[in-house]
Amino acid sequence: MTYMVEVKEGVWSLYSPKIDMYVMEEATIKDVKIVLATEMEYKVKLDIVKLLMTFPHGYLTMDGKEIVHEEAVKEYEAWHHETHQRIVFPDEYHARIDAKIHELLT
């Protein structure tokens, strides 16, 4: 997600053009860094969900043939679309991602 920052007298605000609203207002730089680090963490977790849901799609066999698992890719894309709709509610969005990883690994 691309953010825009505003600093006034040492106080930070973080704006998201994607959702057209401020994510944080009147925050410390430490608080802004925590939000940005959490955003990066969940981008990686989405990659993990994609790997777990679609594996072995896209991998090569020892004879150089690519494995295709289109149904799994469609399932992931549907789940991702549904989950992405919750991005304006960060706690719920993060919980859905965490729950999916837990579901796929247990």
Q: Would you state the pLDDT for residue 16?
A: 87
The predicted structure's pLDDT at residue 23: 87
Q: What is the mean pLDDT of each run of 10 residues along the chain (106 residues)?
A: 87 89 92 92 97 97 96 98 90 96 97
Return the closest-CA partner of residue 99 out of 31, 86, 70: 86
Q: How far apart are CA 75 and CA 68, in angstroms?
A: 14
HSE-up (13 A, CA, CB side) for residue 73: 7
User: By the 8 A CB rule, do 56 and 69 touch?
Assistant: yes
> How many domains does one find in the chain?
1
Residues 6+ apart with CB under 8 A from 8: none
What pLDDT is stored for residue 1 in this prediction? 55
Two structure tokens written together for 56 = 């072995």
Domain, as residue range, for 95:
4-105
Element (H, E) at 71: helix 70-84
